[in-house]
Amino acid sequence: GQQVMQIPQYQHVQEGEDFTTYCNSSTTLSNIQWYKQRPGGHPVFLIQLVKSGEVKKQKRLTFQFGEAKKNSSLHITATQTTDVGTYFCAENSGYSTLTFGKGTMLLVSP
């Protein structure tokens, strides 16, 4: 599968601050999925974006898919300690192949 680059690798914020992680690809993505993995846990599916320019919200989380379908972002408003974990973007290119970005580890201090 193609590479999806994810930045930043790590971010430490104070509770209440916002957080954004970005995924970029040099080629057009068929779709982008986002997963969250808590420390010591397993990846949990958050959302999938398919359409160009798509924006989806889940409470304080906002997911965007770029117009060219080459980038995506996850924005968390007013972080809470429960947001701690590693957020992965991943492309599902079909034929059961999911390619993960390297992930962004989020730490939230109370």
Partner 1 sequence: DTEVTQTPKHLVMGMTNKKSLKCEQHMGHRAMYWYKQKAKKPPELMFVYSYEKLSINESVPSRFSPECPNSSLLNLHLHALQPEDSALYLCASSSGQGASNEKLFFGSGTQLSVL
Residues that bind partner 1 (CB under 8 A): 30-31, 33, 41-45, 48, 50, 88, 92-98, 100-103, 105
Question: CB 92 → partner 1: shortest distance, Å?
Answer: 5
Radius of gyration of the chain (CA): 13
59 vs 95, beta carbon nearer partner 1: 95
Q: How far is the CB of 55 from partner 1 (least distance, A)?
A: 17
> Shortest distance, CB of residue 6 to partner 1, whole angstroms?
9
78: left (phi over 0), alpha (psi -120 to 50) or beta: left
Nearer to partner 1, 66 or 103 (CB): 103
Beta carbons within 10 angstroms of residue 29's beta carbon:
24
Minimum CB distance to partner 1, residue 11 (Å): 14
User: Helix, strand, coil % (nearest 5) of the chain?
Assistant: 5, 55, 45
* Contact assessment for residue 46 and residue 86, using Cβ atoms and an 8 Å cutoff: no
Toward partner 1, which CB reaches closer, 77 or 92? 92
Contact in structure between 16 and 60 (CB atoms under 8 Å): no
Which is nearer to partner 1, 55 or 78 (by Cβ)?
55
